[in-house]
Amino acid sequence: MSIMGQTLEAIKTILAANTTINYNFTGYYDDFVAEDYPAICAEPDTGQSLLGNGLNFNYDDGGKAKVYYVEEAPENRDMTAFIGKVDSLVEIIKQHPRLDGTLNQGVNITVKYMRRGPSDNIEFIAMILIEGRNYYDNL
Amino acid sequence: MLDLLQALESKLLSNITALDKIRPMTKFNQLKPDEAGPGFDKYAICHEIVTDHKYKNRKGKFETPFFLNCYSNVSNGDVAVIWFISEVKKVLDEADLSNANIKTYSVEYDESSPQPEFNEVLQAWQSVIKVTIRWREL
């Protein structure tokens, strides 16, 4: 199964259902251009599968994905509202700890506020790194 | 590109009432006071495309820096041109030039040379501003 595709879709669906996202993109952040704000860029990172044969045959899927949340920066560059918004996005993900069953063993969420690079427009960028595992038994 | 130039020109003309003429560098001669015409009245801009390259390696998206040569031929033109470039900066920096034909992602003031210089050809004081525009055609 493609855990990466399902995980990215699940994250995008959960966020879109619980907050306003006006532009969605799946792909590398290096190629990402926000056509509207707020925007989300879901970037695949690492997918892994672990097969084990113990008493029962089971396996683990692991996934790591980066979700970039991008908003237009105001003229005074004050980040207070933006930080609040990113915190609320993390809360939304926490309300769906299994990410719609794609990472049913729980997830690890890391947020990193990025300084905009030379190729970015006048915007605030937060990278939400999501890592998790999916466990199957008796398959 | 023509649509972008038009959007740039109309943005400046509609927001700076003192601006008399805005021309591309190829039509610089139209600003000269000679037999063909009176030149310009008080304030003018000549825009110049510096380069044009792909933005974020995406087809159809561009990053284009411009030089805006700002001129003033009023009596204290050296001081007036300093005021004039600050007006241009105010209008263009972080502006949105999007219209039915183009979309701009970013219009950013990069740098300028605020020290006025006298332009012998136009008999006017001049100063240069550089702005970078990221855009695509619709």
pLDDT digits (tens, 9 = 90+) for B104-127: 999 999 999 989 999 999 999 999
Q: Which of A1-5, A121-125, B91-95, B96-100 has the lowest mean pLDDT?
A: A1-5
CB contact at 8 A, A123 and A114: no
Q: Please give the CATH topology (third level) of the domain spanning B2-30+40-137.
A: STM4215-like (3.30.2000)
Domain boundaries, chain B: 2-30+40-137
CB contact under 8 A, B61 and A33: yes
- Separation of alpha carbons B105 and B97, rounded Å: 9
CB contact at 8 A, A89 and A37: no
pLDDT tens series, chain A, 139 aa: 457 888 888 888 899 889 999 999 999 999 999 999 999 999 999 888 877 766 666 777 888 899 999 999 999 999 999 999 999 999 998 888 777 777 777 788 999 999 999 999 999 999 999 988 887 765 5
CB contact at 8 A, B8 and B47: yes
> What are the phi and psi torsion angles at A52 (to 5°)?
-135, 145
- Select the residue of A31, A34, A122 nearest B58 (Cβ to Cβ): A31
Nearest 10 degrees: Cα torsion A43, A48, A136, A111: -40
pLDDT tens, B14-59?
A: 999 999 999 999 998 889 888 677 788 899 999 999 999 999 999 9
- Separation of alpha carbons A21 and A12, rounded Å: 9
* pLDDT at res. A1: 47
DSSP H helical ranges for chain A: 3-18, 80-94
Domains of chain A (ranges plus CATH)? 3-59+75-137 (3.30.70)
- Select the residue of B56, B94, B103 nearest A75 (Cβ to Cβ): B94
Mean pLDDT computed over B87-112? 95
CA distance B107 to chain A (A): 9
Q: Which two tokens stand for residue B1?
A: 């590109």
Q: Is the interface score ipTM higher than 0.90?
A: no
